[in-house]
Amino acid sequence: MTDALGRIWAIALNTFREAARIRVLYGLVVLVVGANLMAVVLGEMSVREEARVAQDIGVAATSLFGSLTAIFLGVFLLYTEIQRRTIHAIVSKPIERWEFVVGKYLGMAMVPTALVGMFALAMVVTLTWRGAPVTPAIAKALMLAWFEVLTVAAIAIFFSSFSSPFLSGIFALAMWVIGRLTPDIEAATQTAAPAIKWTAKIALEIVPDLHLFAVSGGQVDGAQVTVHDGFVSWSYVGLASAHAAGWIAALLAIACVLFRRRDFV
Amino acid sequence: MADAAIEVRDLRKTYRTPFRRRRVEALRGVTFRVEVGHIFGFVGPNGAGKTTTIRTLMGLIRPSGGSARILGHDIPSRQARARLGFLPESPYFYDYLTIGELLDLAGRLFNLPGPLRKKRAEELIERVGLGRARTQSLKKFSKGMLQRAGLAQALMNDPELVVLDEPMSGLDPIGRKEVRDLILELRERGKTVFFSTHILSDVEAVADQVAIVARGQLQAQGTPAELVGRVLRGVDVLVRIADSVATDELTDGATRVRRVGSELSLTLAADVDVDAWLARAHGAGAKVVSVSPRHDTLEDLFLRETAAADASVAATEGRT
């Protein structure tokens, strides 16, 4: 087992090194700064709501840009390995294909994780600068955003194990949107025809409920929750992490099975 | 019988084209055996099935039929891959790495401990002549340098079996000579080397065993001497003879005749009695300079077997 972990770590480290070289990601760092500057500007335009605006924009930007980064990296990393044939010199070594997929996922997930970290840091700096407290609710919201990003990364890797980057990108993006709109789709199809209602129900069953990770401003168990006041409990965060872990494990398991059957010609 | 380094039986691979789902038979039942400690040359024209065979053995492609064992393990086998080194055709590596980082990655995948990884990497960088390029990223490497880097990563685990897909490709004559020397050195150290190529002189120079593959089928297998020395194609003779002497009597039974001044060069047919011919030549006052039997070259055999495979496939396709 230690040997397998060593090989997975080698792939993860190399993948992180590869992903960190993609120049588009430096644009995302600019977005981190831009989002926080926008939070400051919008805060100035509001009346005594500077901290609230900074928190809302910070959490939303973490979730949005983190997820988009995960999709962008996830759909390309496996594909380019096969396309450029770099995989030939790797899977001919004593590494199992599932170890390769898991290593790629871990290495790739390090990049949006670093991005979430940067967003969190920028948000703390902004809030401190505005004289607003950094509350446990913000920490919980950022952790939930991180779980969402990790789940989206697994979705992207899953699609890229059998599809082209273009299609994988579309599928992953569609899953992200559907997953985010789970309660809205449920509500909208409540009074629809049975066929539509069942189709929506099935669709929502096979898509991770990503709305669980972005609950600020919505309702949990009938109660209004917001990052500014009365946010979710730590046990909710724990359950959400288990939900994310379950989906990540399932998606990676299917990706590993599909990848195992592929020919590298 | 002791385990062979590689044992392939009736290996088959059929692809389906993406849209029309047409069947393409890349391998049509390839069978061969590579003995431990031998250098095995796998020869064939482009598209013959060499690379498909190698990729199947390396676990990159799943066979459609047949079986193969490497170092006593059925493919695909992680245990076998731990004991072999592989150089892919036209190798592609992560171009942002340096040669040292590439070898470190390879060493990690073989679970080599850190100090050993470092020691092996240093030795191999020098061995393949990349010492002066150790700080450059692979992106800046020429094709020949990448080939050397590929050889180095294939040897990181000090493998028992080395599988090289077109190892001389992209190398200049010096580089090719160095690779040939490396292959011979590996055999000296008791390793088994399996390499594919379409450069016949490279095979003749180093291989103990040769297999010719064409159209996805094995056409011939044996030692180079067995393969090319089986049939006498004629006898080349060079004699000196006075200009005034008529050569009609001597050219009888020759398949090729060339006279330049006093030198008469000819090829006698394989069924000609050479001793009787030489006696006639002496009788005519000719001075024999050289007599050498003409056997098939590997190139002759290669061309013949390839043409036969093409004809066989064309006939089969014509019937279906």
B232 touches chain A (CB under 8 A): no
Nearest CA in chain B to A96: B78
Q: Is the pLDDT of residue A251 over 90?
A: yes
Contact A94 B79 (CB under 8 A): yes
- Tell me the domains of chain B and their CATH numbers: 6-228 (3.40.50.300), 232-295 (3.30.70)
The model's confidence at residue A265, banded by pLDDT at 50, 70 and 90, is confident
Task: Identify all chain B residues contacting A91, using CB atoms and an 8 Å cutoff.
Answer: 59-60
A221-225, B68-72, B218-222: least confident range: A221-225
What pLDDT does residue B150 have? Answer: 94
- Yes or no, beta carbons of A91 and B88 under 8 Å apart: no
Hey, are the CB atoms on A89 and B106 less than 8 Å from each other? yes
Give the pLDDT of residue B318: 67
Q: How confident is the model at residue A56 (pLDDT cuts 50, 70, 90)?
A: confident
Check CB contact under 8 Å for B78 and A263: no
**Shortest Cα–Cα distance, A262 to chain B (Å):** 7
Please give the C-alpha separations between residue A25 and each of A3, A66, A113, in angstroms, as whole numbers: 32, 11, 12
Residues in A closer than 8 angstroms to B59, CB to CB, are: 91-92
Q: What is the pLDDT of residues A209-238, one digit of tens each?
A: 898 898 877 778 778 888 777 788 899 999
pLDDT of residue A53 exceeding 70: yes
pLDDT at site A198: 87
Which residues in chain B are closer than 8 Å to A18, comparing Cβ atoms?
94, 96
Per DSSP, helices labelled H in chain B are 50-57, 78-82, 99-109, 114-127, 143-154, 173-188, 200-206, 224-228, 248-251, 274-283, 298-319
Give the pLDDT band of residue B319 (cuts 50, 70, 90).
low
Average pLDDT of chain A to the nearest whole number: 87
Percent of chain A with pLDDT over 90: 41
Contacting residues of A for B88, CB less than 8 Å apart: 85, 88-89, 92
ipTM for the complex shown: 0.83
Work out the percent of chain B whose per-residue pLDDT is above 90. 53
The DSSP 8-state label assigned to residue B12 in this structure reads E
pLDDT mean over B276-293: 88
What is the model's pLDDT at position B121? 96
Distances (CA, A) of A211 to A151, A155, A207, A242, A251: 12, 15, 11, 15, 18
Considering the entire predicted model, what is its pTM?
Answer: 0.84
Percent residues over pLDDT 70 in chain B: 97
Q: What is the mean pLDDT of residues B77-82?
A: 93
> Measured between beta carbons, which residues in chain B are less than 8 angstroms from residue A103?
none
**At which residue do the structure tokens 């539509």 appear?**
A196
B107-161 confidence digits (pLDDT tens) = 999 999 999 999 999 999 999 989 999 999 999 998 889 999 999 999 999 999 9
pLDDT for B55 beyond 90: yes
Which tens digits make up the pLDDT trace of A165-205? Answer: 999 999 999 999 999 888 888 888 888 888 888 888 888 88
- Tell me the mean pLDDT in the region B201-210: 88
pLDDT computed for residue B245 by the predictor? 75
Radius of gyration of chain B (CA): 25
pLDDT at A29: 76
3-state secondary structure chain A: CHHHHHHHHHHHHHHHHHHCCCCHHHHHHHHHHHHHHHHHHHHHHCCCCHHHHHHHHHHHHHHHHHHHHHHHHHHHHHHHHHHCCCCHHHHCCCCCHHHHHHHHHHHHHHHHHHHHHHHHHHHHHHHHHCCCCCCHHHHHHHHHHHHHHHHHHHHHHHHHCCCCHHHHHHHHHHHHHHHHCHHHHHHHCCCCCHHHHHHHHHHHHCCCCHHHHCCCCCEECCEECECCECCCCHHHHHHHHHHHHHHHHHHHHHHHHHHHCCCCC
Vertex A100 angle, CA A94 and A101, to 5°: 155
Confidence of residue B285 (pLDDT cuts 50, 70, 90): confident
Q: How far off is chain B from A21, nearest CA to CA, in Å?
A: 9
Q: Which residue has the tokens 């400690």?
A: B37
Range in A40-49, A57-66, A205-214 with the lowest mean pLDDT = A40-49
Structure confidence at residue A131 (pLDDT): 79
Confidence at residue B230, expressed as pLDDT on a 0 to 100 scale: 64
Flag if B109 and A17 touch (Cβ within 8 Å).
no
Identify from A13, A22, A86, A93 which residue to disrupt to test chain B contact, counting B C-beta atoms within 10 A and taking the largest count: A93
Quick check: A264 and B110 CB within 8 A? Answer: no
B86 touches chain A (CB under 8 A): yes
A93 and B81 within 8 Å at the Cβ level: the answer is yes
| CB-CB contact of B264 with B190 (8 Å) | no
With an 8 Å Cβ cutoff, are B92 and A263 in contact?
no
A89, B62: Cβ pair inside 8 Å? no
Q: What percent of chain A has pLDDT over 70?
A: 99
Tokens 């393409």 map to which residue?
B24
Task: Quote the tokens at residue B254.
Answer: 């020759």
**B194 and chain A in contact, CB less than 8 A:** no
pLDDT at residue A81 tops 60: yes
pLDDT bracket for residue B320 (50, 70, 90)? low
CA distance B236 to chain A (A): 47
Q: Interface of chain A against chain B, CB under 8 Å? A: 3, 6-7, 9-11, 14, 17-18, 21, 84-96, 261, 263-265
Residue A91 has pLDDT above 70, yes or no: yes
pLDDT of amino acid A48: 65
Q: How many CB atoms lie within 10 A of CB B88?
A: 26
